[in-house]
Amino acid sequence: MSFIQLIDYETDRATEIDNAMRSAMDDTAPGFLRLEHTRDHDNPRHFTTIVEFATYEEAMANSGKPETDQMARELASMCTSGPTYRNLDVQMTMP
């Protein structure tokens, strides 16, 4: 089973965060299987980024990269609340 990290935060600088995330992805090969950047339909200042990894170990290796740390610091500086990180072991996947 795979491993998922959720990153929850609120911001009034969504465009800047989007640009920073795109730039970070352009600068480095992703260490993840999938990334989804979502906006809360009912609260447009609230976002959740969903990052899927093959394993917990791969997620932790990605988290330990200097460029990941730099991106996390940049993201945090643009948040009005958070970010809050959740590390999730996938228990079941359904189509």
Residue 65 lies in a domain: yes
Residue 5 lies in a domain: no
Residue 52 lies in a domain: no
pLDDT digits (tens, 9 = 90+) for 3-57: 999 999 999 999 999 888 888 776 666 788 888 999 999 999 999 999 999 999 9
Domains in the chain: how many in total? 1
pLDDT of residue 59: 92
d(CA 61, CA 66) in angstroms, rounded, equals 10
Residue 23 lies in a domain: yes
Among 71, 58, 74, smallest CA distance to 28 is for 71
d(CA 58, CA 19) in angstroms, rounded, equals 25
Give the global pTM. 0.87
The H or E element containing residue 26 is helix 14-27
pLDDT digits (tens, 9 = 90+) for 58-82: 999 988 888 888 889 999 999 999 9
